[in-house]
């Protein structure tokens, strides 16, 4: 009996040894293919990109299977070399996991759409903003603009404007619900961390940016959040009771949700789905849409240049700017009524414009310039009348109707500048000068 038991235990011992050998062989095989690199890859993450990456936000992406692949250049890494980039860096660990960052000193415009409707409707791929961060998340990752008040070194032209992009990819997450939101937040936090590292290294002054704690969806199908507090009320001043000349009824307002110290955009539209508006059809020339936006610093220059390329700034065949000062405390334009009457008498005269059918939303825009937070800031408001024009035809716009549009635009600007919860008021804008009107139907 004892011999039988010994043989059974011997068989178990042989089987155990065989399994152990197989597991050990598998581990050796995996190791020969590049396993066991986790510690080295995490150490690489701490040091990569001039130490500018946020280790806490990115460590979960680090993989063990193979050594991390790092590519980096830029004047932050090699100060004596010529480069358009302060920092251009990518780090990947296989399996679709990695991070890519880019930072440059802006000597020209922001490489993003800065017009009002582009800010609010950025198109496919640009799906999130991070409240408190001037930027957006899109197909190429998150981008932001930051100030380096003391100036950025190593540039041919002096500049204080820093542009940073960051794209984070998480191959293991796949298409799981919530992945895009999480990835967007990590992208924003990475971009903020890089911006702060650069401004600290450049010793250019100013407080660091706060890393965002959440993102807000900009597209209706993203299902996200919305803003609360003062940021949610920045566009509520748009209503027929506040701005005489707008189509009576309920209006729907929308803001850019960035809660930025450098940028703000609002739109308002007469809401045909509102209970009190149902069954009512606006008449031609009734104002059923408005826009209001402000851009400070490099964003203002970028926005103005964008509109200028389309001929939509004062002086391009439109009414010339009258350079009236607007009261910085109340937002009131003391000469608005006189200016509207003068426009009817002198600028418009007996002229009748013809508005063509191919213009789906003709509008009259009014530009102004202020100093907000110590930076030159451009403001643009516009009124959009309702028109039904048969294809291939035109409708006349006479001096009386033109003067009415002008009066509403000037009132809109005054209300925008003076709204207690509006961006210009909270940004402390002062010394506002009206630059002129633009007829966007030519």
Instruction: Name 414's Cβ contacts closer than 8 Å, sequence gap at least 6.
Output: 326, 331, 332, 333, 336
Total-model pTM: 0.82
Higher per-residue confidence, 380 vs 32:
380
Residue ranges of the domains in the chain? 38-220, 227-440
Q: What is the per-residue pLDDT across 123-164, written as a single tens digit (0 to 9) for each? A: 666 689 999 999 999 888 999 999 888 888 756 677 889 999
Q: What is the per-residue pLDDT across 185-203, written as a single tens digit (0 to 9) for each? A: 999 999 999 999 999 998 8
Q: What is the per-residue pLDDT across 281-317, written as a single tens digit (0 to 9) for each? A: 999 999 999 999 999 999 999 999 999 999 999 985 4
Per-residue model confidence (pLDDT) at position 223:
41
**Cβ count near 414 (within 10 Å):** 23
d(CA 139, CA 375): 30
Mean pLDDT, range 258-274, rounded to an integer? 94
Among 8-22, 41-55, 215-229, the range scoring the smallest mean pLDDT is 8-22
Which one, of 317, 283, 302, lies nearest residue 401 by Cα? 283
Backbone φ, ψ for residue 402 (5° rounding): -60, -40
d(CA 41, CA 92): 10
Which one, of 197, 137, 206, 203, lies nearest residue 165 by Cα? 137
Which one, of 430, 235, 198, lies nearest residue 226 by Cα? 235
Mean pLDDT, range 392-412, rounded to an integer? 95
For residue 103, what are its two tokens? 């930072």
């Amino acid at each position: 009996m004892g011999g039988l038991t010994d043989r059974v235990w011997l068989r178990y011992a042989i089987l155990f040894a065989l399994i152990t050998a197989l597991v050990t062989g598998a581990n050796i095989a995996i190791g020969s293919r590049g396993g066991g690199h986790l510690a080295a890859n995490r150490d690489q993450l701490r040091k990569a990109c001039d130490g500018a990456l946020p280790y806490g936000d990115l460590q979960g992406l680090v993989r063990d299977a193979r050594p991390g692949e790092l590519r980096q250049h830029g004047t932050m890494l090699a100060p004596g070399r010529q480069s358009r980039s302060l920092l251009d860096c990518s780090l990947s660990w296989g399996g679709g996991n990695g991070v890519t960052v880019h930072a440059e000193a802006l000597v020209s415009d922001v490489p993003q759409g800065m017009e009002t409707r582009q800010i609010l409707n950025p198109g496919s791929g640009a799906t999130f903003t991070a409240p408190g961060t001037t930027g957006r998340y899109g197909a190429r990752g998150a981008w932001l603009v930051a100030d380096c008040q003391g100036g950025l070194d190593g540039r041919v032209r002096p500049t204080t404007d820093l542009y940073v992009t960051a794209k984070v990819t998480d191959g293991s997450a796949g298409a799981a619900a919530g992945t895009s939101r999480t990835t967007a937040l990590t992208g924003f936090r990475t971009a903020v961390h890089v911006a702060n590292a650069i401004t600290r290294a450049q010793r250019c002054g100013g407080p660091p940016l706060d890393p965002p704690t959440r993102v807000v969806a900009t597209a209706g199908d993203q299902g996200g959040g919305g803003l609360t507090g003062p940021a949610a009320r920045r566009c509520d001043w748009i209503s027929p009771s506040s701005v005489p000349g707008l189509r009576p009824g309920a209006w729907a307002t929308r803001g850019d949700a960035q809660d930025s110290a450098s940028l703000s955009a609002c739109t308002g539209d007469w809401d045909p789905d509102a209970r009190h508006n149902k069954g009512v059809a606006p008449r031609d020339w009734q104002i059923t849409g408005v826009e209001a936006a402000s851009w400070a610093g490099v964003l203002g220059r970028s926005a103005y240049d964008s509109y200028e390329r389309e001929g939509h700034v004062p002086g391009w065949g439109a009414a010339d700017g009258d350079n009236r000062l607007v009261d910085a405390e109340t937002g009131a334009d003391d000469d608005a009524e006189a200016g509207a009457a003068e426009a009817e008498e002198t600028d418009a005269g007996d002229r009748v414009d013809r508005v063509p059918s191919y213009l789906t939303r003709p509008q009259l825009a009014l530009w102004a310039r202020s100093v907000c937070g110590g930076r030159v800031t451009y403001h643009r408001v516009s009124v959009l009348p309702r028109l039904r024009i048969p294809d291939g035809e035109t409708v006349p716009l006479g001096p009386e109707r033109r003067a009415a549009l002008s009066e509403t635009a000037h009132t809109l600007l005054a209300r925008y500048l003076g709204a207690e919860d509006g961006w210009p008021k909270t940004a402390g804008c002062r010394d506002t000068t009206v630059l002129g009107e633009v007829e966007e139907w030519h």
